[in-house]
């Protein structure tokens, strides 16, 4: 997770950017407004007007636009529902001191890695200025804390952080390669064979096609969005032969692990069945004791009556 913050002057320009890439670019970013507080979300123009209206409460503040791009590693995509993205953005706002003010959270869908844009007003509802002092340091610290709290990839190393920030600057095909690489690295250690690996990747929206020759895998092609990319182009270790060999090597250990897990599950099921049987037997024994006690009480209340004359309890063991 990376949080790249910038402080600006124009709400109009920023709102155009988060909606369609800006006046000059006019790109289709697949923008979706996930959350908005104090501003309308129907268009960039309406949103900007609402921001500007509150800005007039503090006209002397020139740089009133707080913008943060929250970007996540491609391998975290499966964890990030829209609801979780909003929760993360709101947690980020709390940690950097953006409170009691207007904001909007907008998701873009034009890159392989998930990312949202947070636009907030540095003029709060009371007309007070929200400080931007040490905003970059506060933002970086908040991103690391949130990533750890949500179990996301933490961009702790400088080189890695720069690399993740620059992912959205890559051509779309290169972004697809980054996403495929991360997904294969994450799923390969848990797969028994190429078929299972393909099933696991399909859950993440990546299709995998294997070409066989004389019964042996020769080539692998991954498909993401509109791109079809050879495995060896993503990584030399992702050719059909090398993936097959890697999976065959780890198969014995995985087979043993899954066997142990199955055995443990079976033992737990057996213990559960025994516990239920014990509870049932104890319940029947208790019921029998209660009926016997009731029968004794009836007999003690009617000592002079013959068995045929005594009232019948209606219950029998």
Q: pLDDT tens digits for 222-233?
A: 999 889 999 988
Classify 115 as helix, strand or coil. strand
Chosen domain end from 159, 184, 212: 159
Rounded to two decimals, the pTM is 0.50
**Structural domain harbouring 280:** 170-292
Confidence of residue 44 (pLDDT cuts 50, 70, 90): very high
Q: Is residue 300 part of a domain?
A: no
Q: Count of alpha carbons within 13 Å of 15, Cβ hemisphere only? A: 22
Asked if 11 and 48 count as a contact pair (C-beta separation under 8 A), the reply is: yes
pLDDT for residue 31 is more than 70: yes
Helix (H, G, I), strand (E, B) or coil at 223: strand
DSSP labels for 1-42?
Answer: -EEEEEEES-HHHHHHHHHHS-TTT------EEEEEESS--S
The domain that holds 62 is classified in CATH as 3.30.930.30
- Beta carbons of 83 and 127 less than 8 angstroms apart: no
Q: Looking at residue 304, what is its pLDDT?
A: 52
Are 220 and 208 in contact, with CB atoms under 8 Å apart? yes
- Domain assignment present for residue 192? The answer is yes
Report the alpha-carbon distance of residue 3 to residue 113 in Å, rounded.
14
The structural domain count of the chain equals 2
- The residue from 159, 194, 228 where one domain ends is 159
Classify residue 115: in a domain, yes or no. Answer: yes
List Cβ neighbours of 5 (8 Å cut-off, separation of 6 or more).
66, 67, 68, 96, 135, 136, 139
If asked whether residues 70 and 117 sit together in one domain, one would say: yes
**Is 309 inside any structural domain?**
no
Same domain, residue pair 186 and 84: no
Q: Are 128 and 200 in the same domain?
A: no
* 203 in the same domain as 142: no
Determine the average pLDDT of the residues in 88-101: 95
Tell whether 105 and 6 lie within a shared domain.
Answer: yes
**Same domain, yes or no, for 25 and 122?**
yes
pLDDT of 89:
96
Residues near 89 by Cβ (< 8 Å), separated by ≥ 6?
A: 34, 35, 70, 105, 116, 118
Strand runs (DSSP E) across 183-268, as ranges?
A: 207-213, 216-224, 227-230
Token pair of 219, please? 């080539």
Mean pLDDT of 255-273: 80
Do 275 and 143 belong together in one domain?
A: no
Residues 174 and 143 in one domain: no
pLDDT tens per residue across span 109-157: 877 788 999 999 999 999 999 998 888 888 888 998 899 888 888 664 3
Contact between 203 and 190 under an 8 Å Cβ cutoff? The reply is no
Q: Which two tokens stand for residue 31?
A: 């923008």
Structure tokens at 196: 């299972």
Do 74 and 187 have their domain in common? no
- The answer to whether residues 203 and 248 belong to one domain is yes
Structural domain ending residue among the three candidates 106, 136, 159: 159
Question: What pLDDT, on the 0 to 100 scale, is given for residue 111?
Answer: 75
287 and 174 belong to one structural domain: yes
Q: Examine the domain organization and report whether 64 and 193 are in the same domain.
A: no
Residue 146, judged by CB atoms within 10 A of its CB (0-12, 13-18, 19+), counts as buried
Domain assignment present for 301: no
Residue 305: inside a domain: no
């Amino acid at each position: 997770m990376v949080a790249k913050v910038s402080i600006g002057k124009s709400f109009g320009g920023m709102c155009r950017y988060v909606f369609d890439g800006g006046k000059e670019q006019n790109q289709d970013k697949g923008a979706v407004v996930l959350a908005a507080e104090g501003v309308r979300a129907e268009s960039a123009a309406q949103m900007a007007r609402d921001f500007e209206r509150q800005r007039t409460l503090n006209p002397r503040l020139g740089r009133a636009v707080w913008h943060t791009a929250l970007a996540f590693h491609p391998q975290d995509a499966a964890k990030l529902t829209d609801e979780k993205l909003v929760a993360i953005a709101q947690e980020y706002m709390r940690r950097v001191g953006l409170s009691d003010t207007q904001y909007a959270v907008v998701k873009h869908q034009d890159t392989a890695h998930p990312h949202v844009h947070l636009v907030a007003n540095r003029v709060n509802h009371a007309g007070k200025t929200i400080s931007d002092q040490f905003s970059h340091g506060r933002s970086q610290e908040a991103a690391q804390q949130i990533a750890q709290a949500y179990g996301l990839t933490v961009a702790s190393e400088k080189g890695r952080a720069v690399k993740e920030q620059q992912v959205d600057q890559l051509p779309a095909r290169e972004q697809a390669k980054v996403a495929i690489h991360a997904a294969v690295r994450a799923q390969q250690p848990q797969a028994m064979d190429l078929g299972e690996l393909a099933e696991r990747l399909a859950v993440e929206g990546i299709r995998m096609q294997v070409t066989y020759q004389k019964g042996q895998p020769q080539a692998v092609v991954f498909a993401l969005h509109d791109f079809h990319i050879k495995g060896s182009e993503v990584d030399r270790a992702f050719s059909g032969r090398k993936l097959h060999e890697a999976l065959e090597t780890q198969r014995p250990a995985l087979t043993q692990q899954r066997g142990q897990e199955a055995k443990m599950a079976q033992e737990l099921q057996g213990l559960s069945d025994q516990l239920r049987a014990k509870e049932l037997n104890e319940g029947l024994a208790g019921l029998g004791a209660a009926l016997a006690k009731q029968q004794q009480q009836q007999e003690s209340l009617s000592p002079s009556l013959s068995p045929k004359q005594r009232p019948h309890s209606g219950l029998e063991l």
